Structure 1
Amino acid sequence: MRVQFELFGPVRAWRGGRELALGSAQRRALLAVLALKANQFVPRADLVDAIWGDKAPASANGSIYTYVSSLRAALDPNRSAARSEVLTSGSSGYCLQVDPESIDVVRFENLRERARLCQRANDLAGARTALESALALGREEPLAGLPGPYAATQRQRLRELQLELVERWARIALDEGGHQRVLADLGSFTAQHPLREGLQSLHLLALYRCGRRDEALRLFERLRAATVDELGIEPGRELTARYEQIKADDPALWRQPATAPCTAAPAPDRPTGRSGAFVGREEELALLRSVTDGLAAGRGTSLWFEGEPGIGKSALVAAGLAEVSGYTVAFARADELSGHAPLQVLLDGLDITPASADPRRSSAAQGLQRLALDDDRDRSTAVDLLVELVTTLCRERPLVLVLDNLQWADPATLAVWDRLARRCARLPLALIGAGRRPAGHSPLTEVRGALVAHGTHVRSLGPLFPPEVHDLVTELTGAEPGPALRELARTAAGNPLFLRTVLEALADGAVPEPAVGAARPAVPPAALEAISRRLGFLSARASEVLRWAALLDRSFTRGDLAAALGRPPRELDDVLGEVVALGLVVRARSKLAFRHPVVREAFYARTPAAFRLALHRQLAEALADAGALVERVAFQLLAAPVPVDKWQCEWLTREIYHLAARTPLSAMRLLLRVTASHNVPAAAREPLAVATARITLWLEQDPYACTRALASRTNDPAGTTGPHTPEPTVTGLAETRHDHRTPAERRSAAPVRAGWWPACPTAAEPAAAEVPAQRIPAGDGPVAAYWLGRWDAALAELTSLLRGGPASVRPTPGRPGALRQASAIAAVIAAHRSRPDDARTHLMSAWSLPPTGDPGADGTDFTLAADALLTELAGRPEQALARFTDLLVAGDDLARPWLPHLVRLAIDLGEPGQAEAATLVCERTAGQETTALRCRALLDGNHLTALAAARRARDSGDLLGTAQAMEDAAALLAARDEPVKAAAALHTALNAYERLGAVLDAERAEQRIRPVRSRVRR
């Protein structure tokens, strides 16, 4: 005898009329998850997430096992000791193996689908019977009393389905003359949902048909007041139109079927809050106006708007058609179920039903009913019939046909769309489609290609620009956004839906303060849950990949992701193509990144907090084994309080100097965490203590204290001192070294005596024999490596110096100032890579070391350049220009390679005289032809000169110079209004910047020609 499951009301299970004892609310919640995913294996991690979310206890896994055991005993008491036939387990999780019809929610949804099919066939009596059966089955609160985020989400979904069925039943009952019964039965629903306008519109109609006109008018006034008070907006179009009809005693209130679909373009769905605002998209709105204006001349057009989820495709079309008059507007919207009902989305949008008042529509509907649309020949006949009917209709009156959510349209609907698109140029027919960009080789990809070939204009909607985001935030909140709210808004990356979701989740509109050390306030958990639900359409593989990707750093590679998942990289190509096409992930050559920080946080939140610590530790080892960059491994160890263990200590001992050169702050944080632990193996204690002393000394945090600590942990005096180590003193350090505004002359003159470095170049130096020869770097390797774009090689120099210990970083006759120069170059590279904290740390280390009197050998030029780049990164271009100007004081030879930056900033700030002076400095010096060409191109606004500079830089192997010259060319082409050429030059520059990891430069390049790039994209 099979078990029956009830999910409406308190979760229950019955066998033969006897209720089974299911136990606690958590056990019932687990059973509900398995029942709603009947006959599918549900991973244990998903069960933990469903029941506890982020608040999972440490014992969650054990609790799941206990719950499953007790449920097995209740559901399958006659099971064998080895296995259960009802609640089975596998390596991937647990599965409830039952007949789906034994679950009331499944029967409810099946009755809902049966009602839809009956209504489609004009069998209103059958539809009403199915709806009444479904409502009787689901009359109670879904999943009543169950805890957990999954139950809350499903409860909301089922409530929405209940209300949808109530509305559908009421419409049918009103058409059958049952307005008295509708009035009696709708009362409780309308009282509980005063802002649900579909229900309220039917309530008004029932009141009117029952002879209670005045009461209906008063009810509308109350509803209007409530809508304005709670949402800050007027009632929607349907409810307002119903009110106007009642006020005018429109006879259509008795004739017009309540089940008739709306043939006018509806306003987009309005979320709660002040979300009706629409900003930006001026070019697209102008395009829509030109399309509808062309209909008057009998000239049709086919448009296709595509973009990521939530980018505003539907809102754009609704806004663009809001003022259309004199034409017929038919609005059709596909959904996930459209594929099971061929052509139904177009039939609904065009009001093609047997009951239609237009005999041509009703005749076409009857003809379609006689066809078997699952048969290829009949489906082709149906496509021909619809195409001819639309052609006839638009010749009588210009027609605007909108099809939203094209990605869910069935093949027959796409075939009709394709046929109409080929004809529309000769007809007064505007076809406007909206959907997500198709991924891979799908039927939609083929249709899109065919449409483009026959003249369809495809427009990709990109993110809103920052001023538009500012305007939208102001409109939605009703106030000028402050700094914290602006930072929070940036997490949506210009996506209007994600931005609205974040703002609506703010409690009482108040923006929380950022946590200590955080750059911005945290995204509200409610917003993360809402965005996660909105992305529920993703395939299971895509969701899994994104959840793992969210555990990685802000950017990651395909290899990183493959290592995390334990799969070959080639197996990820299809699913990565899917998420890239959707716009959730962006690809830049070999790297990937979430487009929207808030989406990354939403997927990160999907992993229960109890599991994250273990997963970060697992990922660290997996990435290290896969040969990932050391900073990616360090990110995993620092992302959560991962316990110190033997592997972590061995890895840190092996890689600490390499890590310190690339990201010194991460290196110090890991060292401090590990050395403070009591779990460091004996063999690792001394190497880690030595590393801590050397790096702390290099960073000038507290060298004397660190030296004493090191001396207490090692028996090797050479590890802590040199033969001429002076007593460490730090005089005037706060006044000079810690203030980046302090001129270089004051820093060099400051009486600083720190660690093992003399305070001035005239101080006595140790004999050359006292410094091991292998620690003297040969030539100007790091400088050449920087200018040639071999930045990892430049950082390797700093790694070598740090690994060599105190003696290697002391000034030597063979290479004075080597550490100062290497630190300054590392600061410039970190600034280019948009890592300001690491850049400042490297820069402070360089400033703490005295200059040697040879600015070219001690990195003075790089310290000034790094200071300027950081100032520009902080959004202070005037001060950045001043910093680059300081380079001229240091000497023309040092300044020349950096002068294109000076010229660019001077021109942007309206200082042409300063730009011309810098250009002349370059042009009067032999051997600086490429730099001189770049300066001259910017000064004269000549893109051909910039391209010549790019060719010279490329021929000399200067990757950075090539990228920067192509960036200049792109900006100059943009100023000439040549968007295609500008975009091509920008693409070349961005590819080179991506190879270098130069995030700062890439962002600056995109900012310089963003408006042009927008026009090309559109």
Structure 2
Amino acid sequence: MRVSTTDDRRLRIRLLGPLRVTRAGANPALGPARQQAVLAALAAWPDRAMPRAELIAAVWGDEPPPSAAGNLYTYISTLRRSLTPDGAPGPVLSSENGTYRLRAAAVDVDAWCFETFREEGLRLRADRDADGERAALTRALELWHGPEALDGVPGPDAANRREHLRELYLATVERHAQLTLDRGRAEELVEPLGRLVAAYPARESLHDLAMHALVRVGRRDEAVLLYRRLRNHLAAHTGALPAAPLRDLHAGLVAGHGRDPALPPRHPGFVGHTAETALLERALDDVAHGRGASIWIDGPSGSGKSALLAEGLRGATAHGCRVGWAVGDELARRVPYGLIIECLDDGNGGPDGPGPLRVAARDPNAAMTVVDEVRALVDARCAAAPLVLVADDLQWADDASLVVWHALHRLTATLPLLLVAASRPLPTSRELRLLRQALMRGGTRFVDVPPLSDEVAGRLVRHVAPAADARTVAEVVDSAAGNAQLLRHLATPGGDDALTAAVLRHLHPLRDETRHLLRVAAFLGADCPVAELPVVTGTPVPALVPAAEEALAAGLLVEDGGRLRFRYPVMRRVLYRSTPTALRVMMHRDFAQRIAESGGSAVRVAGHLAAGPVSVDAWIERWLLRHGEALSAAAPDLAEAVFRQALASPLLSARARDRIGTLAAGLRPAPRVTAACAGADT
């Protein structure tokens, strides 16, 4: 199997992600999902004659419908036409004597290339060539373009192939990571391994590598927390402990730690939030003197809640308090009582640990037993020392943990128990809303984390980027609107990828309709006219309301009269710039016509034409002839940009060229364009 070729007529078939075919830069249509499953089954074994019955079983399983044979014939015919390059000596997909064959001489299949590079890595490993092995594995991993092979392709063959490739992928990642660690480049591994351990919470080999990477970059506390999450996950699902090497690594990390390992590290450069920090410090002093309390901290993603908790509660050990600290995440939400168990598991393995609680939690009918176990455990710990329990990212907590948190709240009236929760506005659930209402009635102190002031934000930027000049600092401060996480990413040199990832994490909890609405709003300018949203989307206003309300509730949009604006200007720019260029131009072109046909202003229409920049077509030519004069009077800078763009197009007719040229000549030279939509100010 050849790995690559320079022949543009040769097909590249990608199985390592969503199924995709490329030829000479184009992507032939692959049709419906079952048709894609046929192609995937053939591509898994190129140049092998696959009997019709075997192919049907691969796609439909052991009990195919009566229509399977007819559908297969249609799919093969369609694929043959779609895949065969113009001028090819024969079809890429051939059939004879009841079999089908994908000709290997005409295709490259990335899964086969992946395994070829893996085999090369194994050979180089046997030769003790670590650098060569790492290079081969790097080339293998670069072939992946999605989290799962054959993502979305149905059928038992695709499912089996997906599982096989997933295991090969993870084994390759782990070996590559080990070689990278051996080269002293742990900083390259922290983020990618962090994403993988979140996706595979029970895979101990990944956790081992991720913990070692964290330790080597000086983030030992996070390595301890990672171990605790693994241990809790295994206990909840299997009742087993992590393997001995991981337990030994954890024991070495917590031995002689110098402070309570339950406390997360303070955030470097922490600034601002003095009132909120003081509130937490007073609560620590109160609980140390026997007075319990409950505090709930609210704030949008990236507002600095976690940093505030670490800063305000850093004195817990000095006050003689025992601390339990848990952080919710999307995966942990599936584990009943997972957040509460993590909160109560201090890693000491003592007689007052949550072992009995884990056993009770595995029984779905033991809710009251679990609550009683937690109460008894907390009561025993409070008898020994004041207790501080922290639940960060409570919005991801499982419903059972929320019930237990409510029960713990009642104990704050009689025990030296401080409960501190932190959450974002979204995602939310009925159970979380009910808990919030109950705690409000029960006296919990609710605190909103405000955005950082411009002065405080500037101090944070200068801490992250000491060499930044005053203008750069001001631009970063304006773009982030007081969001600490965005400020850090914006101030970090070369941090564009991390910034984009951070913005997309803000959007992750939202529904697809809301994310789409935000991207559309990013194209409509810094102040998005609400009236244009139904025009450009073709969606009635009532159908847009839920998405707009969710974006407002998440604190991502702000309503100002008849307009919506992004709370964080950088978020709009990232959404706009992350849209592929071809799609961006198409959207501007489509929006321009929709706004024009709805009676929108010439300035708004021209703003989209200039922002694309959109190629001239028949509709644009007619629109310029009809509205060019009015546009010149209303916005001469914008008019000049659109006219010059049109005059540069070979598609412009002679009549239109004369008229637009005359209009352009009558305009004064403009130093810049002030377009009325996103393209000009991104």
Task: Provide the TM-score with structure 1 as the length reference.
Answer: 0.46
Q: 1:33 aligns with which of 14, 17, 23?
A: 17
- In the alignment, the residues of structure 2 paired with residue 395 and residue 191 of structure 1 have an alpha-carbon distance, to the nearest angstrom, of 39
1:626-665 → structure 2 map (5 Å cutoff): 626-656=598-628, 659-660=631-632, 662-665=634-637
Is the CA contact 2:327–2:392 (under 8 Å) kept in the aligned structure 1? yes
Q: Structure 1 residues 592, 380: closer, same or farther in 2, change over 3 A?
A: farther
**What is the alpha-carbon root mean square deviation over aligned residues?**
4.9
Please state how far the C-alpha of 1:446 moved relative to its aligned partner: 3.0
- In the alignment, the residues of structure 1 paired with residue 206 and residue 171 of structure 2 have an alpha-carbon distance, to the nearest angstrom, of 17
Letter paired with 1:357: G
Aligned to 2:455: 467
Is the CA contact 1:135–1:165 (under 8 Å) kept in the aligned structure 2? no
Letter paired with 2:43: A
Q: Is 1:266 aligned to 2:264, yes or no?
A: yes
Letter paired with 2:27: G
Please state how far the C-alpha of 1:350 moved relative to its aligned partner: 0.6
Q: Is 1:546 aligned to 2:557, yes or no?
A: no
Is the CA contact 2:360–2:369 (under 8 Å) kept in the aligned structure 1? no
- Other structure's SS at 2:559 match: strand
1:804-953 → structure 2 map (5 Å cutoff): none
- Other structure's SS at 1:82 match: helix
- Other structure's SS at 2:350 match: coil
- In the alignment, the residues of structure 1 paired with residue 418 and residue 454 of structure 2 have an alpha-carbon distance, to the nearest angstrom, of 32
Letter paired with 2:469: P
Letter paired with 1:62: N
1:532-543 → structure 2 map (5 Å cutoff): 532=504, 535-543=507-515
Aligned to 1:406: 394
1:49-80: CA deviations, max 9, x gaps?
Answer: xx9xxxxx9x7543676998975752486563
1:369-391: CA deviations, max 9, x gaps?
Answer: 4x32xx4xx22442343245334
- In the alignment, the residues of structure 1 paired with residue 443 and residue 278 of structure 2 have an alpha-carbon distance, to the nearest angstrom, of 19
- In the alignment, the residues of structure 2 paired with residue 85 and residue 542 of structure 1 have an alpha-carbon distance, to the nearest angstrom, of 40
1:67-146 → structure 2 map (5 Å cutoff): 73-75=42-44, 78=52, 80-83=72-75, 95-99=152-156, 100-104=159-163, 139-141=174-176
1:258-315: CA deviations, max 9, x gaps?
Answer: xxxx8622126xxxxxx72111111111111121122234332222212221111111
1:932-984: CA deviations, max 9, x gaps?
Answer: xxxxxxxxxxxxxxxxxxxxxxxxxxxxxxxxxxxxxxxxxxxxxxxxxxxxx
Is the CA contact 1:383–1:416 (under 8 Å) kept in the aligned structure 2? yes
- In the alignment, the residues of structure 2 paired with residue 441 and residue 159 of structure 1 have an alpha-carbon distance, to the nearest angstrom, of 26
Q: Structure 1 residues 502, 198: closer, same or farther in 2, change over 3 A?
A: same
Aligned to 1:667: 639
Q: Is 1:357 aligned to 2:357, yes or no?
A: no
- In the alignment, the residues of structure 2 paired with residue 86 and residue 836 of structure 1 have an alpha-carbon distance, to the nearest angstrom, of 49
Is the CA contact 1:439–1:577 (under 8 Å) kept in the aligned structure 2? no
1:171-220: CA deviations, max 9, x gaps?
Answer: 99xxxxxxxxx9xxx8x995998326559989xxxxxxxxxxxxxxxxxx
Q: 2:547 aligns with which of 571, 575, 582?
A: 575
- Other structure's SS at 1:34 match: coil
Q: Structure 1 residues 391, 691: closer, same or farther in 2, change over 3 A?
A: farther
Percent of aligned positions with the same letter in both sequences? Answer: 29
- In the alignment, the residues of structure 2 paired with residue 415 and residue 680 of structure 1 have an alpha-carbon distance, to the nearest angstrom, of 68
The structure with more helix, counted as a fraction of residues:
1
Number of equivalent positions: 540
Q: Is 1:195 aligned to 2:217, yes or no?
A: yes
Q: Is 1:62 aligned to 2:31, yes or no?
A: no
Q: 1:338 aligns with which of 323, 332, 335?
A: 332
1:621-653: CA deviations, max 9, x gaps?
Answer: 122234444433222111122112222233334
- In the alignment, the residues of structure 2 paired with residue 170 and residue 439 of structure 1 have an alpha-carbon distance, to the nearest angstrom, of 31
- In the alignment, the residues of structure 2 paired with residue 453 and residue 87 of structure 1 have an alpha-carbon distance, to the nearest angstrom, of 64
Please state how far the C-alpha of 1:619 moved relative to its aligned partner: 1.7
1:703-736: CA deviations, max 9, x gaps?
Answer: xxxxxxxxxxxxxxxxxxxxxxxxxxxxxxxxxx
Q: Is 1:436 aligned to 2:430, yes or no?
A: no
- In the alignment, the residues of structure 1 paired with residue 303 and residue 360 of structure 2 have an alpha-carbon distance, to the nearest angstrom, of 39
- In the alignment, the residues of structure 2 paired with residue 625 and residue 265 of structure 1 have an alpha-carbon distance, to the nearest angstrom, of 60
- In the alignment, the residues of structure 2 paired with residue 499 and residue 581 of structure 1 have an alpha-carbon distance, to the nearest angstrom, of 22
Is the CA contact 2:531–2:562 (under 8 Å) kept in the aligned structure 1? no
- In the alignment, the residues of structure 1 paired with residue 220 and residue 506 of structure 2 have an alpha-carbon distance, to the nearest angstrom, of 22
1:476-515 → structure 2 map (5 Å cutoff): 476-479=464-467, 481-504=469-492, 506-507=493-494
Is the CA contact 2:272–2:452 (under 8 Å) kept in the aligned structure 1? yes
- In the alignment, the residues of structure 1 paired with residue 190 and residue 29 of structure 2 have an alpha-carbon distance, to the nearest angstrom, of 22
Is the CA contact 1:75–1:86 (under 8 Å) kept in the aligned structure 2? no
Is the CA contact 2:293–2:419 (under 8 Å) kept in the aligned structure 1? yes
Please state how far the C-alpha of 1:664 moved relative to its aligned partner: 3.7
Letter paired with 2:272: G
Q: Structure 1 residues 454, 197: closer, same or farther in 2, change over 3 A?
A: closer
- In the alignment, the residues of structure 1 paired with residue 163 and residue 268 of structure 2 have an alpha-carbon distance, to the nearest angstrom, of 37
Please state how far the C-alpha of 1:482 moved relative to its aligned partner: 3.5
- In the alignment, the residues of structure 2 paired with residue 491 and residue 622 of structure 1 have an alpha-carbon distance, to the nearest angstrom, of 30
1:138-191: CA deviations, max 9, x gaps?
Answer: 64449x9xxxxxxxx99964675379989985899xxxxxxxxx9xxx8x9959
- Other structure's SS at 1:357 match: coil
Q: Structure 1 residues 526, 156: closer, same or farther in 2, change over 3 A?
A: closer
Aligned to 1:288: 280
Name the larger-Rg structure.
1
Q: Structure 1 residues 380, 571: closer, same or farther in 2, change over 3 A?
A: farther
Q: Structure 1 residues 366, 617: closer, same or farther in 2, change over 3 A?
A: closer
Q: Structure 1 residues 420, 533: closer, same or farther in 2, change over 3 A?
A: closer
Q: Structure 1 residues 483, 432: closer, same or farther in 2, change over 3 A?
A: same
- Other structure's SS at 1:96 match: coil
Is the CA contact 1:87–1:97 (under 8 Å) kept in the aligned structure 2? no
Aligned to 1:770: none
Letter paired with 1:532: L
- In the alignment, the residues of structure 2 paired with residue 86 and residue 289 of structure 1 have an alpha-carbon distance, to the nearest angstrom, of 69
- In the alignment, the residues of structure 1 paired with residue 655 and residue 465 of structure 2 have an alpha-carbon distance, to the nearest angstrom, of 59
Q: Structure 1 residues 238, 661: closer, same or farther in 2, change over 3 A?
A: farther
- Other structure's SS at 2:27 match: helix
What residue ranges of structure 1 are gaps of 5+ in the alignment? Answer: 1-19, 36-46, 52-56, 109-132, 145-152, 173-181, 203-236, 246-261, 269-274, 508-522, 703-737, 739-834, 840-1018
- In the alignment, the residues of structure 1 paired with residue 675 and residue 173 of structure 2 have an alpha-carbon distance, to the nearest angstrom, of 59
Please state how far the C-alpha of 1:434 moved relative to its aligned partner: 1.0
Please state how far the C-alpha of 1:592 moved relative to its aligned partner: 1.6
Is the CA contact 1:331–1:402 (under 8 Å) kept in the aligned structure 2? yes
Letter paired with 1:96: V
Task: Provide the TM-score with structure 2 as the length reference.
Answer: 0.66
Q: Is 1:458 aligned to 2:480, yes or no?
A: no
Aligned to 2:406: 418
Letter paired with 1:669: A
1:542-585: CA deviations, max 9, x gaps?
Answer: 33333333333222234433333332232222222222222222
- In the alignment, the residues of structure 1 paired with residue 475 and residue 403 of structure 2 have an alpha-carbon distance, to the nearest angstrom, of 45
- Other structure's SS at 2:16 match: helix
What residue ranges of structure 2 are gaps of 5+ in the alignment? Answer: 56-71, 81-149, 180-187, 225-249, 677-682
Q: Is 1:386 aligned to 2:379, yes or no?
A: no
Letter paired with 1:323: G
Please state how far the C-alpha of 1:393 moved relative to its aligned partner: 3.1
- In the alignment, the residues of structure 2 paired with residue 171 and residue 672 of structure 1 have an alpha-carbon distance, to the nearest angstrom, of 56
Aligned to 1:315: 307
Aligned to 2:236: none
Letter paired with 2:265: A
1:604-634: CA deviations, max 9, x gaps?
Answer: 2332223222221112112223444443322
1:335-364: CA deviations, max 9, x gaps?
Answer: 1122211111111221289x9313474444
Letter paired with 1:344: G
